[in-house]
Amino acid sequence: PCRWLMEKVEKSILAKASVEARVIPYGVDLSIFRYRNKHEAKRILGISPTVEMLLFAANGIKQNIWKDYRTMSEAIAKVAPRLRDRKLVFIALGDNSPPERVGETEVRFVPHQRDPSVVALYYQAADVYLHAARADTFPNAILEALACGTPVVATAVGGIPEQVTDGTDGFLTPVGDSEAMASKICCLLSNSELRLNMGENAAKKARQYFDLDRQVGDYISWYRNVIEQRSPVRLF
């Protein structure tokens, strides 16, 4: 993965001065961000296991135009009428706004959480993670969701297509397209087997590519390689 990041390196004004370039993807702590039974996670958060939970995590969600809360809200408003037999709750993690309703869906805003194990609990409880960014780099939030075995519906911007394989561990949608996002949310919520399979694929990908230990090991390996390629410096 991460071809998008390498293309950024190749287009950089510093590219001509580069001796060697590698892409080392971010990693997340898989001892914290890991799969957990969703019913158990919901119970801890005080959410009924019969409620379908949608999640988005970012600081200042409603005020940040790049996070596009509006498109997510429009998508959620379209989902509820199509799934009338389901009760939905949308958790916006990282905002102090008062609760509200979007159509028939309850929206709960949860302030920023400093404890990563608490943050992980929300990912673990979510049935679908949403990410409607208008522009982004390589968001950790998506990596954390994948690591917790939660399928992702996200916009295909920046490095996100390097994180989410469309149709395998989530779905990619165009920027600002609430109808496309609503359609993919409905696809996942109405098909528990698909949702489970995508969640398993997501966790597997995280273990393979986005492990923090792997990131550290890759950096150490590269540093060692650089040192071995250089002749010893003679001080005298």
Report which of 198, 136, 175 is spatially closest to residue 5, judged by C-alpha positions.
Answer: 136
* pLDDT, average across residues 148-159: 97
* pLDDT, average across residues 123-140: 96
pTM above 0.95, yes or no: no
Report which of 135, 187, 147, 148 is spatially closest to residue 166, judged by C-alpha positions.
Answer: 187
Q: How far apart are CA 96 and CA 108, in angstroms?
A: 9
Q: What percent of the chain has pLDDT over 70?
A: 95
207-217 pLDDT, tens digit per residue, is 999 999 999 99
User: At residue 234, does pLDDT exceed 80?
Assistant: no
* pLDDT, average across residues 129-147: 96
* pLDDT, average across residues 106-128: 96
